[in-house]
């Protein structure tokens, strides 16, 4: 059984200085919870670049495809209308008519898809309780998450976190790979 150690810091500068010193000593810093964004923390934690822009693009392309399929269906299959002898679904002739629908469906699908993706990825679903290692995490405390797989090094890691400036250290048993 592995343990997760939470180092609670009172100041973000102390936290920012503690992470490199802990990493030098072999402590794996997993995550940080903060009441406000700390610029540069993702570089210290080696957080990989997000793929959210790729997902947004895919949702947008889905919306564009749905809009074009919808306009094709309405103009050709559902209710074909002869308007001045022009072809029913010719982009080079009817572009101004298709632009608003295509744009709105692209934005609609991208926005709703990203909102759902954010909720699923962040585990902010209805009925799910977020883990709160310290009650003042949203007020003025900064929490560093450290996972320790070797139980014999627990006391050493706790003392390293305390010596790096943590005001408090909490431990919790975890199941992780």
Cα within 13 Å of Cα(83), Cβ side: 12
| Domain positions in the chain | 2-35+137-174, 52-121
> What confidence category does residue 177 fall into, taking pLDDT thresholds of 50, 70 and 90?
very low
pLDDT for 67-98, tens place per residue?
989 988 988 888 887 777 777 766 665 567 78
Q: What is the pLDDT of residue 90?
A: 67
The separation between CA 2 and the C-alpha centre of its own chain, rounded to angstroms, equals 25
Distances 128 to 113, 122, 137, 138, 177 between C-alpha atoms, Å = 20, 11, 18, 18, 22
Comparing 31 with 135, the larger pLDDT belongs to 31
CB atoms within 10 A of CB 100: 10
Residue 49: helix, strand or coil by DSSP?
Answer: coil
Cα within 13 Å of Cα(72), Cβ side: 7
Write the CATH number of the domain with boundaries 2-35+137-174: 3.30.70.120
Q: Which ranges of 122-166 does DSSP label H, i.e. alpha helix?
A: 154-163
Task: Name the residue among 89, 53, 56, 57 with its Cα closest to residue 71.
Answer: 89
* pLDDT at residue 173 greater than cutoff 70: no
- Residue 6 burial (10 A CB sphere; 0-12, 13-18, 19+): buried
* pLDDT at residue 135 greater than cutoff 80: no
DSSP 3-41: EEEEEEES-HHHHHHHHHHHHHTT--EEEEE-SS--TTH
């Amino acid at each position: 059984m592995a343990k997760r150690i939470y180092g609670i810091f009172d100041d973000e500068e102390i936290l920012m200085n503690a992470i490199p010193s802990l990493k030098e000593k072999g402590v794996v810093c997993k995550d940080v919870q903060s009441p406000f964004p700390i610029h540069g923390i993702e570089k210290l934690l080696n957080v990989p670049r997000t793929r959210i822009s790729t997902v947004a693009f895919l949702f947008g392309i889905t919306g564009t495809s749905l809009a074009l399929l919808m306009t094709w269906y309405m103009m050709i299959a559902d209710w074909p209308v002869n308007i001045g002898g022009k072809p029913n679904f010719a982009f080079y002739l009817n572009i101004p008519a298709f632009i608003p629908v295509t744009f709105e469906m692209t934005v609609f699908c991208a926005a709703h898809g990203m909102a759902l993706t954010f909720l699923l990825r962040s585990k902010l679903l209805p009925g799910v309780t977020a883990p709160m290692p310290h009650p003042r995490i949203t007020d003025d405390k900064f929490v560093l998450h450290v996972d320790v797989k070797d139980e014999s090094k627990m006391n050493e890691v706790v003392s390293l976190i305390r010596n790096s400036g943590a005001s408090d250290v909490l431990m919790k048993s975890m199941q992780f790979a």
